[in-house]
Chains A and B, each alone.
Chain A
Amino acid sequence: MSTTSASVIERLRARIGVDGEPSTATVEAGHLKRFAEAIGDPNPRWLEEAPPTFLVALAPVSLHLAEAEEYGKGWLNGGNRFDYSAPVKVGDRITARGRVADVYEKTGATGTLLFIIFETDYLNQAGTLVAKLRGTMIRR
């Protein structure tokens, strides 16, 4: 492991479990419509309600992952998991609270990669948890 990658990993690891700056946004009819058009889903239900992956577009959380760009040359998205507990509708005001959950290196056939696991909780205006997102971002 190079000194640079060791220091990047150390700095990212220091952030594990610490909430980033929360972000809040209102679910707007126009944004929902543009999102549904972009994914090519014509279901009229999405004029009123958020489709399964919409929350990623609504309130991105700053996790300062740009720092990880000192490692490797590009990003890969490893995967996403959504757990839903309440519907998200037009007009809802959603707050996202996110954090780094884990950071580790793994060596595979194509070399060593840096894995950053993050999680985000989404709450509505009543303070009710509507969904949780867990994701894996990879530097290669």
Chain B
Amino acid sequence: MNIKVGDEIPELVKNPTTRQLVQYAGAQGDFYEIHYDQPFAQSVGLPGVILHGLLKAAFLGQLVTDWLGDRGTLKSFEVSYRGIDQPGVPYRCRGQVTRVQGDEVELDVWGEDPEGKRTTVGTATVLAHR
């Protein structure tokens, strides 16, 4: 696997909708109202409904697995949610290789809003197949 430190991985742009949040709420079983009920979301000080953190994690997971394909195995994946994201706003997932040691590759991954603010940041470790 020809992977070098500094390599950027192909970006993934998601266009989440409120409908997708409802779909995700059902598939995950997370029915916290801030993800589909506008008045409730506003009552707890949010500008409106927001994306599930774990949905953003799933987007970043797809970023990594799309790039990796069958060339290796995902060993660990960690994300921190730094800001909120709303449906109707494109969510851009990006990543970069930060370390290559033997068969082990580490990546920084992050999700950006249209202003380039990193609302989710994380890392992934993959084990490359020989």
Contacts and interface: CB of A to CB of B under 8 A. Distances in A.
Interface in B50-77: 52-55, 57-59, 61-62, 64-66, 73-77
A43 B52 CA distance: 21
A40 B29 contact: no
Interface residues of B, number: 35
B57 A80 contact: yes
B53 A38 contact: no
B53 A51 contact: no
Given A51-B61, A74-B45, A79-B80, A38 B75 contact: no
Contacts of A56: 28, 54
Contacts of B65: 41, 43, 45, 51-52
B26 interface: yes
A84 B72 CA distance: 13
Interface string A115-136: 0000000000000000000000
A38 B62 contact: no
Nearest to A75: B32
B103 interface: no
Contacts of A74: 34, 44-46
A35 B30 CA distance: 12
Contacts of A109: none
A82 B126 CA distance: 12
A39 B24 contact: yes
Nearest to A110: B45
Contacts of A37: 23, 27
A106 interface: no
A74 B74 CA distance: 33
B20 A80 contact: no
A96 to B, nearest CB: 13
B27 A80 contact: no
A45 B76 CA distance: 19
A51 B65 CA distance: 9
A128 B77 CA distance: 20
A73 B45 contact: yes
Given A38-B27, A52-B77, A43 B66 contact: yes
A44 to B, nearest CB: 12
A74 B49 CA distance: 13
Interface of B: 14, 20, 23-24, 26-29, 32, 34, 44-46, 52-55, 57-59, 61-62, 64-66, 73-81, 122
